[in-house]
Structure 1
Amino acid sequence: MTEPVVQIHKLWTVFENGDKKSVVHKDLDLTVERGEIMSLVGGSGTGKTVLLRQMLGLETPTKGDITVLGKPAAELGKRGAASRVGMLFQQGALFSAFTVLENIAFPLRELNTLPRELIREAALVKLQMVGLPADAADKMPSDLSGGMIKRVALARALIMDPPLLLLDEPTAGLDPESADSFCTLLRSLHQGMGLTVVMVTHDLDTIFELSTRIAVLASQKVIINDVPQKVVAFDHPFIHDFFLGERGQRAMALLKNPTVPSI
């Protein structure tokens, strides 16, 4: 049996503010299998982005175990995760003083193990992979549209061909046409590169368009982690309000995938 890409067991996340303690995660378990696209959804304060950062090794849980690609997630934070895990932050997080190509090439340049010309060629390949023209290479982030910023950030996340890609609100701030185009790109890259994807998103169209499984965070843990049609049928107040309202019904009705029926 193939080893899970991400394995989280009995995870606790507790934040302290003076004498007050806030428990965000309590005995949280989660498994991400190789090759799937998993969406993390939940209400405000359920720690979705915190969980992504813990997978990346940028934050340490209070207790519990997180294994990513067979290694403790904490080792990713110490050694640098770019070669094993790509991360697309919500606003792109591009360096404003760098050109597009410099932003994409940054992780490779930080390693300082390849000739500059080879790094440039690799960055140009990734630029093309995310659907941007070669003449975008010398543009500055301030010259880019929201959709272009997302694509540049995605190219940077993929520059070292990581097997795992983490996405924080990948279509946030995009108009419907740009969001649809970005989803199409993600699906193509997922298939073409054999990626495993974990994303946090509130966008129902994105969730139903891409997800092979949905993990729902509520009551400080994952209450269900399953295929979309089983998640929307799960009896819980958050799931009912989030998935079965007018927007959820519309998103499912428009979905072309017949395995996720309208309810």
Structure 2
Amino acid sequence: MTDAVVEIKKLWTVFKNGDKEAVVHKDLDMTVERGEVLSLVGGSGTGKTVLLRQMLGLEKPTKGEITVLGRPAEELGKRGAATRVGMLFQHGALFSAFTVLENIAFPLRELKVLPPDLIREAAMVKLQMVGLKPEVADKMPSDLSGGMIKRVALARALIMDPPLLLLDEPTAGLDPESSDSFCLLLRALHRDMDLTVVMVTHDLDTLFELSTRIAVLADKKVIVNDAPKEVVAFPHPFIHEFFLGERGQRAMELLREYPFAV
């Protein structure tokens, strides 16, 4: 019996523009095991966010198979993914006309099975779980800092206690202190809620802080999917440029010191 939460087999993604075709993924295979934090990295145009959307059932691949928690991913898109998969979008994607608490509670309200008092209570629990004080509940998104927006969006993604969490550039746009704080929060939630996490990020500090495995998208497929130290040693031009260039040196020091990423 497999313990895979996500299985992707022979996936093709082809975008058409008139008579022209752009092949983004070609015979792509990838597995996400239960309880891990798997990070997707790759150059521009390699289809990292597209792959997240396909796992969520929001986009259908041209060919191939994606199974999420034992069911075809496309069923998530048809029936709603909130109870099985949480999604943190890159810029939060909060509803500007809703308060913080209304944003967090939105997936529960859409189900229309719980009374308002229970929905509010559940949303307040998630608000505090992501490190925000109760008085933030009635604020509008326009009143929040970038870090607070990320936390509210994370609370909304977790409101249904999904076993799988997808993160698209979770620390993008945050200052170093806020980024470090958000990574600590994600590590704690991953542990305490027994989450499986798939994350797209270009930030090397975030990558090495959180990842148990890294899947590298290049040449239209996953060229390596392994522990961080093994990925860094994999011979490929993109990996050498991304991990071993000047921008990667500080993060590599963290990798040497941080046993979680070994």
TM-score by length of 1: 0.98
SS at match of 1:239: helix
**C-alpha separation between the residues in 1 aligned to 2:79 and 2:260?**
41
Residue 75 (1) aligns with residue 75 (2): yes
What's 1:103 paired with?
Answer: 103
TM-score by length of 2: 0.98
Report if the CA contact (8 A) 1:3-1:70 is conserved: no
C-alpha deviations, 1:145-182, integer Å up to 9, x for none? 00000000000000000000000000000000000000
Deviation at 1:75, TM superposition (A): 0.2
5+ long unaligned stretches in structure 2: none
Deviation at 1:260, TM superposition (A): 5.1
SS at match of 2:259: coil
Report if the CA contact (8 A) 1:36-1:213 is conserved: yes
Are residues 68 and 242 of structure 1, via their aligned partners in 2, closer, same or farther at CA, if it must alter by over 3 Å? Answer: same
**C-alpha separation between the residues in 2 aligned to 1:251 and 1:65?**
35
1:7 counterpart letter in structure 2? E
What's 1:26 paired with?
Answer: 26
Deviation at 1:2, TM superposition (A): 4.2
Residue 133 (1) aligns with residue 144 (2): no
SS at match of 1:170: coil
**C-alpha separation between the residues in 1 aligned to 2:113 and 2:234?**
50
C-alpha deviations, 1:243-263, integer Å up to 9, x for none? 0012212112134413657xx
**C-alpha separation between the residues in 1 aligned to 2:137 and 2:167?**
23
What's 1:10 paired with?
Answer: 10
**C-alpha separation between the residues in 1 aligned to 2:254 and 2:110?**
44
**C-alpha separation between the residues in 1 aligned to 2:175 and 2:110?**
34
Q: Identity over the aligned pairs, expressed in percent?
A: 82
SS at match of 1:209: helix
Aligned length: 261
After TM superposition, the structure 1 stretch with the greater mean CA deviation from structure 2, 2-11 or 94-103, is 2-11
**C-alpha separation between the residues in 1 aligned to 2:260 and 2:242?**
19
5+ long unaligned stretches in structure 1: none
1:115 counterpart letter in structure 2? P
What's 2:220 paired with?
Answer: 220
What's 2:144 paired with?
Answer: 144
**C-alpha separation between the residues in 1 aligned to 2:17 and 2:239?**
30
Report if the CA contact (8 A) 1:4-1:69 is conserved: yes
Report if the CA contact (8 A) 2:14-2:62 is conserved: yes
**C-alpha separation between the residues in 2 aligned to 1:78 and 1:260?**
36
What's 2:210 paired with?
Answer: 210
Runs of 4+ aligned residues of structure 1 deviating over 3 Å after TM superposition are 258-261
**C-alpha separation between the residues in 2 aligned to 1:96 and 1:117?**
23
**C-alpha separation between the residues in 2 aligned to 1:228 and 1:138?**
41
What's 1:157 paired with?
Answer: 157
1:156 counterpart letter in structure 2? R
What's 2:201 paired with?
Answer: 201
1:37-48 correspondence to structure 2 within 5 Å: 37-48=37-48
What do you get for the CA RMSD once the two structures are aligned?
A: 1.0
**C-alpha separation between the residues in 1 aligned to 2:5 and 2:215?**
15
**C-alpha separation between the residues in 2 aligned to 1:86 and 1:49?**
15
1:257 counterpart letter in structure 2? Y
**C-alpha separation between the residues in 1 aligned to 2:61 and 2:253?**
39
**C-alpha separation between the residues in 2 aligned to 1:226 and 1:258?**
15
C-alpha deviations, 1:123-143, integer Å up to 9, x for none? 000000000000000000000
Report if the CA contact (8 A) 1:14-1:23 is conserved: yes
**C-alpha separation between the residues in 1 aligned to 2:261 and 2:240?**
16
What's 1:56 paired with?
Answer: 56
Are residues 127 and 259 of structure 1, via their aligned partners in 2, closer, same or farther at CA, if it must alter by over 3 Å? Answer: closer
What's 1:113 paired with?
Answer: 113
C-alpha deviations, 1:16-72, integer Å up to 9, x for none? 000000000000000000000000000000000000000000000001000000000
2:259 counterpart letter in structure 1? P
Deviation at 1:3, TM superposition (A): 2.6
2:30 counterpart letter in structure 1? L
What's 1:191 paired with?
Answer: 191
Are residues 150 and 259 of structure 1, via their aligned partners in 2, closer, same or farther at CA, if it must alter by over 3 Å? Answer: closer
